[in-house]
Amino acid sequence: MIPLSYFLILSIILFVLGAIAFFVKRDLITQFMAIEIMFSAANLAILAFAKAATSLDGQIIVFFVITVAAAEAAVGLAIILLIFRQKKTIKSEDIKLMKG
């Protein structure tokens, strides 16, 4: 029987690593992967709490999160592909059109 705190600590570590990866990395695709890591870390925490509360609803929430993440990944990657076609770069520091 693994204590709940182990899972929560692992979830914190993974979430923070995902945030670090998002800021350290410079290309859009890897930053997008970092977001997926943070999704999964949050899912881990939800499942740990769901087990502690002995409830099935947490698993349903995680199921919906995974489904929506799949949809989000498809649209996000399409947008990255469009940016690459127009600007010939996927480095996030080269995309500063909003700055004027």
Partner 1 sequence: MAHFLFFLLAIICIASVLGMIISKDQAYNALFLIVAFVCMGGLFALLEAPFIAAVQIIIYAGAIMILFIFVIMMINLRKGVGPEKKRWTVYFAVVIAFVLIAELVLTVKGTLEPISSAAVEKLGNPTDLGRLLFTKYLYPFEITSILIIAALVGAIVLVKKRDKE
**Which parts of 20-49 interact with partner 1 (CB under 8 A)?**
20-27, 29-30, 32-34, 36-37, 40, 43-44, 47-49
91 in contact with partner 1 (CB under 8 A): yes
- The CA-based diameter of the chain, rounded to the nearest angstrom, is 57
87 in contact with partner 1 (CB under 8 A): no
CB 25 within 8 A of CB 90: no
Other Cβ atoms less than 10 A from the Cβ of 11: the count is: 20
Contact residue for partner 1 among 35, 67, 87, 95 (CB under 8 A): 67
Name residues whose C-beta falls within 8 Å of residue 49's C-beta, 6 or more positions apart in sequence. 4, 58
95 in contact with partner 1 (CB under 8 A): no
How large is the C-alpha radius of gyration of the chain? 17
Number of residues that bind partner 1 (CB under 8 A): 71
Nearest distance in Å: CB 97, partner 1 = 17
